Amino acid sequence: MLKTIWDWFQINSAGLGVVLSLLGFVVVFLQLRKTRRAAEASKVAANRTLYAISQIDTASDLASLKERLKGLQSSIRASRFEVAYNEAQSIREGFHQLRNRKGFESEEGQVELQTMVTFLRKLQDHLERKTQDAEYQLPVRFISANLSDHATKISGWIEQRRFELGGKSDV
């Protein structure tokens, strides 16, 4: 029996070799395709994770800026003008850093940031004037209302990011 199989194998070995090679090739091809799909899926997942991290990071920075705007508002109301000046400077830098973040690359986003930075710059000019001239009247209510408007706008941006992340962020 074994001899019969052996004889048959010797006669047909060339054809069988070809079939086995083809089979091997198909197996390798399928395996490679599976691996490539897995690599692509993991790349997509990695990109999604990076995007989520960047959005959470931005939302966290925005939340911090919003709190600092409230701090600035309190300092002005409490007549701590030098402190307010430094806070405005730091917030200004914070807004400037947002320029390259996702969601702010558009012209509209850049104009929004520029409007806030300009407001803070002009506020600083007036705070500086106030520290030099005690008689100078700062329109505190007006400034406060503007700071509140900016804080509200920032809240909108934070919400937008939370929504994009499926509302799963705790920021």
Partner 1 sequence: MFEPEVQDLLQELLVKSEAGEVRWQDSKVAGMADTVRQDYLVVLPNISINIFHGSDGIRLNFIDSAGDISLGLRPETDEEVALLEKIFSSADRIVSGEKARKTLDDVKKALSQKGPVGELERRNSPF
Contact positions toward partner 1, by CB under 8 A? Answer: 92-93, 95-96, 99, 107, 110-111, 113-115, 117-124, 126, 137-139, 142-143, 146
| Residue 146 vs 169, nearer CB to partner 1 | 146
Smallest gap from residue 148 Cβ to partner 1 (A)? 12
Q: What are phi and psi of 101, to 5 degrees?
A: -80, 155
Smallest gap from residue 125 Cβ to partner 1 (A)? 8
| Residue 10 vs 142, nearer CB to partner 1 | 142
| Residue 156 vs 167, nearer CB to partner 1 | 156
| Residue 66 vs 130, nearer CB to partner 1 | 130
Smallest gap from residue 50 Cβ to partner 1 (A)? 25
Q: Quickly list DSSP for the chain.
A: -HHHHHHHHHHHHHHHHHHHHHHHHHHHHHHHHHHHHHHHHHHHHHHHHHHHHHHHHHHHHHHHHHHHHHHHHHHHHTT-HHHHHHHHHHHHHHHHHGGGSTT--SHHHHHHHHHHHHHHHHHHHHHHHHHH-TT----HHHHHHHHHHHHHHHHHHHHHHHHHTTT----
| Residue 34 vs 99, nearer CB to partner 1 | 99
Smallest gap from residue 64 Cβ to partner 1 (A)? 18
Smallest gap from residue 91 Cβ to partner 1 (A)? 10
